[in-house]
A and B are shown apart, each in its own frame.
Chain A
Amino acid sequence: MEDNMDGMTDSSDYVEMWIDLFLGRKGSEYFCDIDPDYITDRFNLINLQKTVPKFTQVIQYIVDELDETVLESMSHSRLEQLENDARKLYGLIHARYIITIKGLQKMLQKYRDADFGRCPRVFCNSQPLLPVGLHDVPGIDSVRLYCPACEDLYNPKSSRHSTIDGAYFGTSFPGMFLQAFPEIVPRHPTKTYVPKIFGFELHKQAQLARWQELQRLKLQKSLEAKNVDFSKNGGYK
């Protein structure tokens, strides 16, 4: 909540751009910077008009084109509302932007810097993660993280990330990302864990592990028959 205030006092001075202030906030680490040109192009905003009140004003506020006198005449609560609407709209535009060629490139750099964290699974060896939404509509669920190594979903470690709306990243982002950059797809780890007692594997868990390994071998066999090369990216370690 205190962050709210910070954002406002500073942006009203126009010392820094709103986008830079937003991205510099603790908790904004998952977001990339969207080109102002993209934000002001009406074509990219189709169907977003109804997501916030006073849509045009919010857009102007995001790209620092809102007249200073307008800002100064606003009440405290109106400013707070504007700031919240700006963050929401930025998030919704962000979900569209990150699946464009430029946006994918920006997210690639963030992925390389492991800005989205690393997979907590031991056998994934600190594989960098990708953000994903389970819904494209805001207000339903928070952002989750996709691991390209184990292909599973994880919750963000920090509470400042676990409250970000998943719709600000969208359901298609990791799929688009890995299709755009197939060289990023790792070879998948096949090691698994079976609980042991003094070195002896638990019977039921060991049986399940064998059955799962059988499923893996069957998948590999069927895909190899379709000319998928398992010694390359997307294969097994």
Chain B
Amino acid sequence: MSEYIADRNDDDSSEDSGSYEEWIPSFCARFGHEYYCQIPSEFLEDDFNMTALALEVPLYRQALDLILDLEAVSDDEAEHGENGQPEVSRSLVEHAAEQLYGLAHARYVLTRPGLQALAEKFDRRAFGTCPRYHCGGMQLLPCGLSDTLGRQPVRLYCACCGDLYVPAQARHAQLDGCFWGTSLPGVFLQHFPELGEYVGKRPVQSYSLRVFGFGVNERAVSGARMAWLRQRPSTEEEWEEYAKCEYEMPTEVS
């Protein structure tokens, strides 16, 4: 984790030496930050949206000021402060700002404008496409497996196969999943029902092992055991069985 912070600060110092840059656009434009949306400052300025985040992030006020470019620290001060003190605290504030931005981001992406911003990124394949062959390049959505800082890296959800994947690029695979949150795919699917309709209409395709054109015997160790994972009800009988699964697992397994 400390390497991670040091890395980010390196990036900063090069940026700081140049002309003044707004924090949010430059944070989102950083290499590896392609999954982040830009949060409008009005959202961050509204105390209601930021409720309880002060409890989760240290140096909350300074961090927020940094994000909103309200902090009037000149390059001079930052670099030549007494005993190097301001520089240390600046890197702490910077780290806190990144955490705060991430936690606010998880909230923002569940709002109407946030979902819209996410949908535009989704359309541009900003989160990549499903690596599963039969999903035919379906766009992915980021998904957290925990809503607590530092627990689980971000994963990607495919609405077509309904499965979760590790980001293809190593630079994305370690982003904190709580910055997108556990509710994101669910809220996205509810907000854009046309996505569910679209994937519902796609033909269900699957693969099974073949040797010289023949299937593998079901009793063999390598016999098919996972067809259920990609299966959808298709026959009348299966749809009846599916109806029985509405609230619980049917007790009798025939």
Contact of B253 (CB < 8 Å), options: A123, A176, A196, A217? A217
Q: Is A211 a contact of B241 with CB atoms below 8 Å?
A: yes
Q: Assuming A146-B209, A232-B221, what are 16 further A-B pairs, CB within 8 angstroms? A: A121-B166, A123-B164, A151-B208, A171-B213, A175-B216, A178-B216, A178-B222, A195-B186, A208-B242, A211-B241, A214-B241, A214-B253, A218-B253, A221-B253, A223-B218, A235-B225
CA distance A150 to B134 in the complex (A): 14
Number of interface residues of A (CB under 8 A): 58
CA distance A172 to B241 in the complex (A): 35
11 A–B contact pairs at CB < 8 A?
Answer: A120-B166, A123-B164, A151-B224, A176-B211, A178-B221, A188-B225, A195-B157, A195-B162, A207-B242, A223-B218, A226-B219
> How near does chain B come to A44, taking the closest CB pair, in angstroms?
17
Q: Is B226 a contact of A150 with CB atoms below 8 Å?
A: yes
User: Is A231 engaged at the interface, CB distance under 8 Å to the other chain?
Assistant: no
CA distance A56 to B221 in the complex (A): 42
Q: Is B168 a contact of A120 with CB atoms below 8 Å?
A: yes
Q: Is A122 a contact of B222 with CB atoms below 8 Å?
A: no
> How near does chain A come to B134, taking the closest CB pair, in angstroms?
7
CA distance A196 to B147 in the complex (A): 12
Name B's interface SS.
Answer: loop
> How near does chain A come to B249, taking the closest CB pair, in angstroms?
5
The 4 closest A-B pairs by CB, nearest first: A178-B222, A195-B186, A215-B228, A175-B211
Which of chain B's residues 148-179 have a Cβ closer than 8 Å to chain A? Answer: 155, 157, 162-166, 168
Contact of B225 (CB < 8 Å), options: A151, A155, A198, A204? A151
Q: Is A179 a contact of B220 with CB atoms below 8 Å?
A: yes
Of all chain B residues, the one with the shortest Cβ separation from A123 is B164
Contact of B254 (CB < 8 Å), options: A194, A210, A218, A235? A218
Residues of A within 8 Å of B157, CB to CB, are 193, 195
Query: Scoring A residues 188 to 229 as 1 if CB is less than 8 Å from chain B, else 0, what string do you get?
Result: 100011111111001011011011111111110101001110
